[in-house]
Structure formats: C-alpha cells, structure tokens
Amino acid sequence: MNCDYPQGGSMIEWPKTLEAVLKLDFDTVIPNRGNPATRADLEAALKRVSTIVSTATRLVKKGTPKEQLIDQIQCRRCRRVSEPFL
C-alpha cells in the first residue's frame, strides 16, 4: 500500500476507508498497482494497516521521538513483499 500524502492521503483515515470498501459486495479487488486480489486480501490489509496506525498512535502519545517511530513500528509480518496492498 502506498498512502498518497501529496494528494491529501491519510494513514490514520485509511482503516476507515478500507472498512467502508469492505461493506460493498465484491469478490475481487483491482488495485492501482499490483495484481488483482481477493476480499480476504483486503481484510488482511485492513488488519495490518490498523495495527500500524494503532501502534504509531500509541508510540506518539508515549512521546517516542520521530526518528525512532519507524524502527518500533516495523514488523516482519507487516512487510511481506508478496502480500497485496502493503
């Protein structure tokens, strides 16, 4: 996934957007880039994005310095290259 910040994208709003999409009736997702994916793939992406956002929010509230945020948010299971949407 790629949050389009220059066009007003928001990682914080992304889970809400994915939840709204998942209310629609569909089986296949055609992303802007990458291969078509399933509804289950999008559900998994929502879980990963929600985890990233909640972790980042918790760390910021805890006062974690900006330069340490990425290191503390990264997790191997969130960065599988083969997984769609992230």
Give domain limits for the chain. 7-78
- Sign of the dihedral defined by the CA atoms of residues 32, 34, 35, 37, in that order: negative
pTM: 0.75
Q: What are phi and psi of 37, to 5 degrees?
A: -135, 170
Q: What is the pLDDT of residue 8?
A: 79
The predicted-structure confidence for 20-48, as pLDDT tens digits, reads as follows 999 999 999 998 778 999 999 999 999 98
